[in-house]
Amino acid sequence: MRTAVSKAFKSFSTKFEGYLTYMYGDVKNLVTTGMGNLIDPISTARNLPWVNSDGSAASFQQITDAWNAVKARTDLASKGGKAYESVTSIRLTEAGIDQLIQSRLASNEKTLRGTYPDYDSWPADAQLALLSMAWAMGPAFKFPSFTKAIKKSPPDFTTAAAQCKMDETGNAGLKPRNVANKKLFLNAAAVLANGANPDTLYYPDDVPVGTTTHAPASTTTHARTTTAAPEQTTTHEAAAHETTQAPEQGTTEAPAGAAAPSKSTTYPPRAPRPHLLRPPRIARRRRKRQDTPRPRRPGARPPRRPALRRSQPVRSPSRSIPPTQRRSFPIRSRSQATRS
């Protein structure tokens, strides 16, 4: 992310999430602390530097008891985080809250880079708006129209400003965040339209009209290219002049009465090579072996016939004769056979 976004994210999100050093329950009764950082399940809370009122480190059992006490107070979930101040006595240090914020911010940004490959080239206002949405509802949110508009080249931040609204049902705290996100995306669209500096975070102000930070560099480049063109033209003209003068110099240097050299040289036809007309020696040997049968040694076994496959049925001679060619013989008794 840009440096301006990293510096302003904490103060930007504190207005919408609050900044509490104790455990509290959110609208879904999930244990939270700091700047809207979830510590549910309890294993997440046990790894943080909790301290008592006297500054001593809280024990493993104290952290477990405080977490269970907050989780049991479902009646306070709709009253906001400040209603849980008297439920627990342990508090989280400022360094511990910053550790939570930075770790979650880095995790969200890693996921967002996989979804939006051009994220690092966006203006600072657009980066802050996208991180704000990911902080409120997770980095894997799915807004099809928003994603389609913001993945264009260049990104359509105007359409993204209209499609970035999160559902406010049952969570009135999302209303000011939606307003801020829309303003941020509109500022990003103005940065691209006016050519303003993308590293500057203009929120909550508007982007000044007529700021062209990167335009002079491109103008200077075009001017250099234009001035270099006549030099190239002069060089080509000189080359053409030299080419034109070359035949005259050759004619002047040739002696008088000498015959002009022929441009095309005729060579006699090459005689055929006999070794290329015959096949290679190995091919001749192979062909000779195939034509002449190999003599059998005296007393050698005759070649074996290929065995019959099991898949081929063995048929009797009578079945191998077609039915139309079979002959029927009259059945004679034993007495008739004896007389004959």
pLDDT score recorded for residue 246: 41
What backbone phi and psi angles, to 5 degrees, belong to 34? 65, -125
What backbone phi and psi angles, to 5 degrees, belong to 23? -80, 145
List pLDDT tens digits, range 79-95.
Answer: 888 899 999 999 998 88
List pLDDT tens digits, range 24-66.
Answer: 998 888 999 999 888 988 998 988 999 999 989 999 999 999 9
pLDDT > 70: percent of the chain: 64
Which of the residue ranges 15-24, 193-202, 282-291 would you say has the lowest mean pLDDT? Answer: 282-291
Tokens of 204: 């909550």
Reduced to 3 states (helix: H, G, I; strand: E, B; else coil), residue 33 is: strand
What is the spatial distance between Cα 202 and Cα 70, in angstroms, rounded to a whole number?
Answer: 39
Residue 58's CB: how many other CB atoms inside 10 A? 21
pLDDT score recorded for residue 242: 42
Sign of CA dihedral 275, 280, 285, 287: negative
pLDDT score recorded for residue 231: 41
Longest dimension (CA), the chain: 137
Chain-wide mean pLDDT for the chain? Answer: 77
Residue 20 host element (H or E): strand 20-25
Q: Look at residue 270 and tell me whether its pLDDT is greater than 60.
A: yes
pLDDT score recorded for residue 91: 94
Query: Among the ranges 157-166, 295-304, 312-321, which has the highest mean pLDDT value?
Result: 157-166
Tokens of 134: 């990911």
List pLDDT tens digits, range 215-260.
Answer: 433 333 343 433 334 444 444 444 444 444 444 444 444 444 445 5
- Residue with the bigger pLDDT between 299 and 53: it is 53
pLDDT score recorded for residue 188: 95
Residue 282's CB: how many other CB atoms inside 10 A? 8
pLDDT tier, 173 (very low <50, low <70, confident <90, very high otherwise): confident
Residue 107's CB: how many other CB atoms inside 10 A? 12
Taking alpha carbons only, the member of 240, 22, 36, 30 closest to residue 131 is 36
pLDDT tier, 297 (very low <50, low <70, confident <90, very high otherwise): confident
pLDDT > 90: percent of the chain: 41
List pLDDT tens digits, range 92-133.
Answer: 988 889 888 998 999 999 999 999 999 999 999 999 999 999
